[in-house]
Amino acid sequence: MQLTEIRLPDVPIFRPEESPLGRAALQSAENSERSVELMAQMTQTMASVQETLVNEVLPQWFKDTQRRQDEAIASSRNAAQESRRSSISLRWTIVGVVASILITAGATAWQVLVAKEIDEGNSKQMDKLEAALNAQKAVLSNQKELQDQALQQQRLQLAELHALRQHLEAQKPAPSAPKALKRDDK
């Protein structure tokens, strides 16, 4: 007697790119990465503007103010007016520097707030994705358990059939027995 080999069907392995939820998670990760890149570029640009302001514009402004103050001292007739103008210009410069610092600090705080909101949104999405993947894992686990139970039940049935066949073969009358006896057994 030959036993036939029972083969279980292949269980598909899901990759994130193959499910809508997985693609959404990958797209979300790409969007987050792009947001971080854009914020980094914006920060660099603002730093460059501030550096230009501090290293080129303000020193030139201070030089112009100093030159005006020197001319005011040299010119006795316009000395009082030039001194007043220089003082006002210097105050505006200070106001400009303070405003620049405040704007830079505000923009940085805004960037941090936006990054935090994006991170919170991504965290929520990742939690949902993790819950969905755990649910999918549980379903696959249940399927495997059912397949294992079905396989075990098939093995038991096969063993019972094999035992029944042996029992029936053991009860068959010997080939040399007369035909009349065979009819009585029925």
Looking at residue 94, its pLDDT comes to 94
Contact yes or no for 65/89 (Cβ under 8 A): yes
% the chain with pLDDT above 90: 37
Looking at residue 21, its pLDDT comes to 83
Looking at residue 62, its pLDDT comes to 87
Looking at residue 145, its pLDDT comes to 92
What average pLDDT score do residues 156-176 get? 85
Tell me 176's DSSP state.
T
Written as six digits, the tokens of 67 are 């030159």
Domain boundaries, the chain: 27-164
Looking at residue 14, its pLDDT comes to 65
pLDDT, greater one: 117 or 17: 117
Average pLDDT over the chain, rounded to an integer: 84
User: 158: which residues sit within 8 A by CB, 6+ positions away?
Assistant: 3
Region for residue 165 given its phi and psi (left: phi exceeds 0; alpha: psi -120 to 50; beta: otherwise): alpha
Looking at residue 37, its pLDDT comes to 93
What average pLDDT score do residues 60-65 get? 88
**Rg of the chain taking only CA atoms, in angstroms:** 44
